[in-house]
Structure 1
């Protein structure tokens, strides 16, 4: 599918969430551990001091694993990095394409399914299209489990950010990762994901506007074109007609 997207041969634009996950992240299972590590280091927005200093010798990618012995807790992807068989870092991914979170407990249950030792060196990623909505969903989840350790290791990441990272870092990757990156960029862009992130930061803002007072630009009526035009003095408009003439 990635090669088809790169050459504009893909026709199915109604893929399901799990299909998108498999298509984009599945090929990482075949990549060298150090390349996957390098990608995560530049993509996932955690502080430098939170990352292990050594480079992994192994990376195990497990898709849709059940983390519970009884019941079912199923993140979309769990990546476990190791160094000479010694655990280094666990990365949990809950991935959404068009759907919303499956209740406030979905992310809570995933984190709680990890052992206490694994939590100390784990990251939890909520990968979504709409980071504005995604961050609100994270806030709701944290109200049920306001643990400091989880709060520091839980982050919402947008699909668009992956495009930005790949565009910038492609020259630094190996041959296989570069081929994968080309396909991922094409796949996401052909499905409406662009590097412009829009105004999602305004999602939680309360904005009150009085149009009669706060216009950025006030067009002149055609019959006033001969009048003088002066910059604004009091009224917050870009231009106004001079009422004295």
Structure 2
């Protein structure tokens, strides 16, 4: 399906943007996207599959990881224990026998159910697994995962929340750097980078050129510089606001 979408042979992706066929009532968007985007990884040799997961964790500077890349591993989609069903359960094993477990919950359009992440961590994983596990949340934004952690932090630093934009950035970096360990992933990465923009996700590569305005050149220590998108840099003079007892709002 990835090739059909990037090759402009299918508009199937529109269902993830809200399109529905006549009579179609329910679309399992998140499950379909999970299978379409990450399913190919499960078909690759384990040592290749493991490179992506470690690079994703390294993008958050996770320190509790063995050196090098995994030599074996498995991906299980929608496993169930005690009626708890995360989207992915990934096991990674290094050459020296060290193991890490990844519990992955992916969201696209829907939100988390009550205590969903807490139940996954506390009920699905055994205490022994928790010691070597990371809980990965991937969604359009990370607000719900952050909120869950603030309500009750049961992870002790092992909950890692990624936006889809962050995942896209990691893949773009892997494609651009094209290190030896990334080479066998390049075909898959190319397809993912071709599909995600059709879903409204595009990586930010930085600025090709920035033209400083005359106003910016006049900036002194008394002025604050603002980046205003495609307009460029501008400066805003310091404004003295009188004290008020009521709350002030800025109306753009």
Q: Normalising to structure 2: TM-score of the pair?
A: 0.68
Structure 1 residue 142 displacement after superposition: 2.7
Structure 2 unaligned runs (5+)?
A: 17-28, 206-225, 227-234, 241-252
The structure 2 residue matched to 1:178, chosen from 168, 179, 186, is 186
The answer (yes or no) to whether the contact 1:80–1:87 under 8 Å persists in 2 is no
Which structure's relative contact order is higher, taking Cα pairs within 8 Å and 6+ residues apart? 1
Other-structure match for 1:155? 160
Structure 1 unaligned runs (5+)?
A: 198-215, 217-230, 237-245
2:4 is the counterpart of 1:4: yes
SS at 1:185 equivalent: helix
Quick one: distance in 2 between partners of 1:37 and 1:59?
7
Query: What is the total number of aligned residue pairs between the two structures?
Result: 195
Other-structure match for 2:214? none
Quick one: distance in 1 between partners of 2:188 and 2:133?
26
Other-structure match for 1:145? 152
Structure 1 residue 166 displacement after superposition: 1.7
Closer/same/farther in 2, CA of residues 38 and 233 from structure 1, 3 Å limit:
closer
Other-structure match for 1:220? none
Other-structure match for 1:88? 99
More displaced, 82-91 or 163-172?
82-91
Q: Deviation per CA, 1:41-86: give whole Å up to 9, x if none.
A: 2222443421123542221100000022xxx100001101124695
Closer/same/farther in 2, CA of residues 232 and 194 from structure 1, 3 Å limit:
closer
2:46 is the counterpart of 1:38: no
Structure 1 residue 180 displacement after superposition: 0.7
Closer/same/farther in 2, CA of residues 6 and 115 from structure 1, 3 Å limit:
same
Q: Deviation per CA, 1:220-245: give whole Å up to 9, x if none.
A: xxxxxxxxxxx987758xxxxxxxxx
Quick one: distance in 1 between partners of 2:70 and 2:238?
63
RMSD of equivalent CA atoms: 2.8
Other-structure match for 2:201? 193
Q: Looking at CA atoms only, which structure, 1 or 2, has the larger radius of gyration?
A: 1
Other-structure match for 1:47? 61
The answer (yes or no) to whether the contact 1:142–1:151 under 8 Å persists in 2 is no
Structure 1 residue 108 displacement after superposition: 0.4
The answer (yes or no) to whether the contact 1:66–1:73 under 8 Å persists in 2 is yes
Other-structure match for 1:201? none
